[in-house]
Amino acid sequence: MTNAISSLELDQVSIWLGGKQILSEVSFAIAPGEFTGLIGTNGAGKTTVFRAILGQIRPSGGKVIIAGRDRSKGDTSVGYVPQKVQIDPDVPLRARDLVALGLDGRTLGLSKRSVADKELIEETLVAVGAETIANRRVGTLSGGELQRVLIGHAIISRPQILLLDEPLANLDIKSEHEIVDLLSTITTDQNLSILISAHDMNSLLPFMDRVIYLAGGRCASGTAEQVIRTEVLSELYGFRVSVIHVDGRVVILADPPPMQAKNKVT
């Protein structure tokens, strides 16, 4: 890292849940404007990292620092797209309403919208490519459409950091590419730092400035070339894995396989 203040830093963060250590002295830093992937298998602790950044879990050790300030010492602006969002089609909430709710922060109840707010809502719908679905009920949207609206909800308050928990899960390849393209454009246009979790890093590879790879409660952080290597990941997993490149895709295999049939780890 340079001497510039990181937009987000985890300094030796340890977290225990249900009597089990989930994160063990996890440290990484993200620079302003960086597009960062948080990669790890199911249960590696990706959502736990997000919950710590959001202040929903207090680490048993270490610190979360946002824009140079200790997370625990004040309000910070972090946009968040959670992993599981399910809204019944009967709920009378339009896509435009959900984007608009992102302006309300922690206030309860409906706010009266100023003209400037109304303009910002329309601008945000356009920025995420959701203007044509603005009047649809959120519960009737496809997975890709819902992600666009959730991203609009998260960025309308102009956070400096945007966290997205597995936004590509359950999307087909075309929608995956559209969402990653959209996020890459938003990062540049709004100088946002993006931290996006995934268990399969392949769709993110061309876009990631930085990879944070989680395994065994620890992490390795750096460029994809630095981190996605047989030696680095074997050390992290605590057993030998092989990083294999096939047709521009990366596959990580346990080596030797712990089970005959199922040795793919990501």
Ligand X SMILES: Nc1ncnc2c1ncn2[C@@H]1O[C@H](COP(=O)(O)OP(=O)(O)OP(=O)(O)O)[C@@H](O)[C@H]1O
Q: Are strands 8-17 and 61-66 parallel, antiparallel or unpaired?
A: antiparallel
Nearer to ligand X, 48 or 187 (CB): 48
Footprint (CB under 6 A) of ligand X, residues 66-85: 83
195: amino acid identity, one letter: L
> How many residues in the shown chain lie near ligand X by CB under 6 A?
13
Q: How far is the CB of 167 from Mg ion (least distance, A)?
A: 11
Return the one option of Mg ion, ligand X, none that residue 40 interacts with (CB less than 5 to 8 A, by type). Answer: ligand X
- Binding string, residues 10-29; x marks residues near ligand X by CB under 6 A: -------xx---x-------
As a whole number of angstroms, the distance between CA 3 and CA 74 comes to 23
Nearer to ligand X, 102 or 217 (CB): 217
The 10 Å Cβ neighbour count of residue 126 is: 13
**If you search the block for the tokens 């302003």, which residue do you land on?**
32
Applying CB under 5 A, does 160 fall inside the site for Mg ion? no
**If you search the block for the tokens 């400037």, which residue do you land on?**
116
Residue nearest to Mg ion (CB): 47
Question: Pick from 45, 129, 144, 159: which binds ligand X (CB under 6 A)?
Answer: 45
Question: Pick from 6, 47, 76, 266: which binds Mg ion (CB under 5 A)?
Answer: 47
Question: Pick from 8, 44, 163, 233: which binds ligand X (CB under 6 A)?
Answer: 44
Q: How far is the CB of 47 from ligand X (least distance, A)?
A: 3
Residues in the site for ligand X, rule: CB under 6 A? 17-18, 22, 40, 42-48, 83, 199
